[in-house]
Amino acid sequence: MSVLGRLVRSTVLLTAAVVLTRYGTKKDHPGNDSKYDPETLEARKTALYGKRMLWMGSSFSAGTGSGGITLCDYLTHINSMEIINESLAHSYLSSVTQNSAVKRFRSSLALVSHTDYLVIEISPIDAEMTPGTVSEGFDRFTFRIKTTIGALEYLIAYARDLWDPEIILFTLPYCSDPSYERLIGQVHEVSEKWNVHLIDMYHDRELENPDPVKRSLYMTDITHPTKAGLRDWIVPYMQKKLLNIAGGR
């Protein structure tokens, strides 16, 4: 992205942040009105109809900014599918904490009988941990799971051993975070190595960056969407990307 492009996007984020501080992440945010509930969208029979999806994420996927209503709730309603949302706010991929994705996977998610898809959120907080490097091998017992990349490779390898699902990684939208941007670069390497899908909202210009007025409705801060932000901004984009993947199965 050009320097000018980064400046424009950063200006939008900073301008919006001034407005967002009035509401925090509370349910009284205007973007969390019931008129933005999942049920306001039309349910239809799609390529995802009847499928099961296991979804692992942090605050973005746990609905921190939307009163607990999640991206998964919208996708479940639209597609009449089952999504097991195992997202937990403030959790990391790497195994350095008790609530990490690796430890949750080992303790309970590995007991899931099957899943057609595994979706993994790459969160900005994952950039706070030691990133690690992409390994040369494919044996999950050799990955350094206390690093973010090692944990991600471990989850991919473990899921393939258990279910061999379609695996989808995704990033959050642009949030002007250099450490996160560097991590995303490594996630692209993981995607290529393992031949898994990557939905890179951070860099994809197809996901139009909303103007400050819309962003104040769509977001509670620079990373957490409201119900309005999910329904009218994130969901249409993710629905299109997921259907493109489902259609290729």
Domains, the chain, ordered by start: 3-247 (3.40.50.1110)
pLDDT at 19 (0 to 100): 39
pLDDT at 26 (0 to 100): 58
pLDDT at 110 (0 to 100): 78
pLDDT at 6 (0 to 100): 42
38 vs 231: CA distance, rounded Å:
7
- Quick one: the chain helix, strand, coil %, rounded to 5? 45, 10, 40
pLDDT at 78 (0 to 100): 97
Residue 244 CB neighbours (<10 A): 12
Q: Name the pTM for this structure.
A: 0.88
Tens digit of each residue's pLDDT (9 = 90 or more) over 82-137: 999 999 999 999 998 888 999 999 887 878 999 999 999 999 999 999 999 999 99
pLDDT at 249 (0 to 100): 53
pLDDT at 210 (0 to 100): 87
Displacement of CA 43 from its chain's centroid (Å): 22
Which of 247, 246, 239, 220 has the alpha carbon at shortest distance from 60? 220
pLDDT (tens place) for every residue of the chain, 249 residues total:
443 344 334 444 443 444 343 444 457 899 999 999 999 999 999 999 999 999 999 999 999 999 999 999 999 999 999 999 999 999 999 998 888 999 999 887 878 999 999 999 999 999 999 999 999 999 999 999 999 999 999 999 999 999 999 999 999 999 989 999 999 999 999 999 999 999 999 999 899 888 889 999 999 999 999 999 999 999 999 999 999 999 855
